[in-house]
Amino acid sequence: MEGAYLVLVFIHLLGMAAIVGGYFTGLSISPKRLSAGMTHGTLLQFLTGVLLIGIAEMGADPVNYAKFGIKIAVAAVILLLAWPRRKDVSIAANTYHAVGVLALLSVAVSVFVK
């Protein structure tokens, strides 16, 4: 089970890198557009997050439901913002920044909430 957990964490981090990296890469580009990496990274984050919660439930350590709840809620909002706009040629700048800032919020929750 430890191997599956580590693989899921690796994939989860790849999704985070795709979203955050795509966000910073696209900051200077106008008009704003969500890259394929950002939208697929969003889906990876959500799916692997749900699977990681399932693995955490099977473990002996207590699960921090507040942390997981916040992260899943943030991932769901990012997914709802990004996925329908994945093929748009341009999107509103505030939507673009919302995706990036929410991804950074998710990273902050991961690091600072124990």
pLDDT in tens, 53-108: 999 999 888 889 999 999 999 999 999 999 999 899 999 999 999 999 999 999 99
Run of H or E including 77: helix 65-82
Q: Give one word for 21, left, alpha or beta, with left for phi > 0 and alpha for psi -120 to 50.
A: alpha
Q: How far is residue 70's CA from residue 97's CA, in Å, rounded to a whole number? A: 19
Confidence check: pLDDT of 1 > 90: no
